[in-house]
Copies of this chain bind each other. A is one copy, B any other.
Amino acid sequence: MNALLTSSQRQLVRVISESGPLSRTEMANLLGLSKAAMSGIARDLIDLGVLHETETVYGQGRPSVRLDLHPECAFFVGISLLEDPAPMILCDLNGKIIARQSMPLSRDPQVIAEAITEGLPRLLETHPSAKEKLSGIGVALSGFVDETQSNCVQSTLLNWQDVPLAKIIRERTGVETFIENDAKAVAVSEKLFGSAREIQSFSVVSLGDGIGCAHFIDGKLYRGNHGGAGEIAHCTIEPGGSPCRCGKRGCLDTASSMKAIKEMSRAEGLECVSLSDIENEASTGNAAAIRILHRAGSGLGLAIANLIQINDPGLILITHVEGSFDGLFGTVVNQAIETNVLPRYAGQTPIRIKRVDGDVWARGAASIAAHNFLIGPNSN
């Protein structure tokens, strides 16, 4: 079905997905087409069930009718291979999660494909038209993925090397499948479903056990030459600092990831199991807790400041699963950003904090499928 869309139709779909509902005339102007051409394209897409008319906007002259993507014109499945059991969700074109379940995690691609195939029917029966309108499966994993979003070039976590996971799943399930790095998937979901829809260039920093990062540049996910763009976790932030499992020293990961923060607290003898615990300790004046949060916060802030200096993004979106950014940690991060960007820049780059739930990765995965459906692999 996707392949049936013409180049102009896809462009239109893309514009609406970025800007939200638009009138035909607005769309014509945005795409640089005539009203006549627009009329036909819109009619075809409405007939196909991709678009539908929404509100009518009254002004001077004939009122305009806004067109929007029909949320239920396509459904996507997203699977996160970052947790065990692996979450598996079904969502629509708006990123709304319709059903949720899980499957056992495995390191064997065949077993994964099998588990997905088994789980699919149960997921799809939650919505009457999901089965026939299932348009893709997306898989998020920790590791490097090639530019076709089909092969996992390398994953330490899964112990993979050149695994054509997407192809295996595609063949087993018969559904179009794409895989992507976890942080990049989150960035895509923020662009497609989230708070960065209308922003052309932005970076997402996802803070969890590890630290992930991905860039959208000029409206496109930038994957980097080896798929490694955004590997901010292994930027040297404390020259000569503690050794990192990657083999070098002073990586951001050793100072600012949740895992590092917890390890540092344990080493200091603090009985903390979450960021909130440490924040609490710090607020009561515990010197070790304060020191740890300071170190972690200023490290992350410096890394983000470097990112801003290097790429001048239109937005930094920090997503975090645990704790909050209202405490010492968040304050230090913000301070460190401010003191390390060119003073004239300071405050010029919006920093948005977003607490995300356990569905981030699965939703991110689904967004990869949705992105390929909406915009396609070759972004002409």
Instruction: Return the chain B residue nearest A32 by Cβ.
Output: B380
Chain A 339-363, CB-CB to B under 8 Å as 1, else 0, gives 1111111001100000000000000
Q: What are 23 A-B interface contacts by the 8 Å CB criterion?
A: A201-B222, A201-B224, A218-B220, A225-B313, A225-B314, A225-B349, A226-B312, A226-B348, A228-B309, A229-B312, A230-B310, A231-B312, A231-B342, A234-B309, A234-B341, A235-B310, A236-B302, A236-B306, A236-B340, A239-B302, A246-B344, A248-B343, A310-B310
Shortest beta-carbon contacts, A-B, top 3: A224-B312, A225-B314, A228-B312
Instruction: Return the chain B residue nearest A340 by Cβ.
Output: B236
A residues 247-303 near B (Cβ < 8 Å) are 247-248, 302
Given B222, B226, B227, which contacts A218 in the complex, CB threshold below 8 Å?
B222
Chain A 301-322, CB-CB to B under 8 Å as 1, else 0, gives 0100111011111100000000
A217 near B: Cβ within 8 Å?
yes
Contacts of A239 in B (CB 8 A): 302
Count of identical protomers in the assembly: 2
Contacts of A91 in B (CB 8 A): none
Contacts of A89 in B (CB 8 A): none
A368 near B: Cβ within 8 Å?
no
Contacts of A306 in B (CB 8 A): 235-236, 306, 310
Given B230, B313, B343, which contacts A246 in the complex, CB threshold below 8 Å?
B343
Shortest Cβ gap from A161 to chain B (Å):
11
Contacts of A220 in B (CB 8 A): 218
What is the bound-complex CA distance between A307 and B236, given in angstroms?
11
Given B248, B312, B313, B349, which contacts A342 in the complex, CB threshold below 8 Å?
B248
Instruction: Return the chain B residue nearest A213 by Cβ.
Output: B310
Chain A interfacial positions (CB closer than 8 Å to B): 154, 201, 213, 215, 217-218, 220, 222-232, 234-236, 239, 246-248, 302, 305-307, 309-314, 339-345, 348-349
Shortest Cβ gap from A236 to chain B (Å):
4
B311 near A310 (CB under 8 angstroms)? yes
Contacts of A302 in B (CB 8 A): 236, 239
Contacts of A230 in B (CB 8 A): 310, 312
What is the bound-complex CA distance between A236 and B223, given in angstroms?
25
Shortest Cβ gap from A257 to chain B (Å):
15
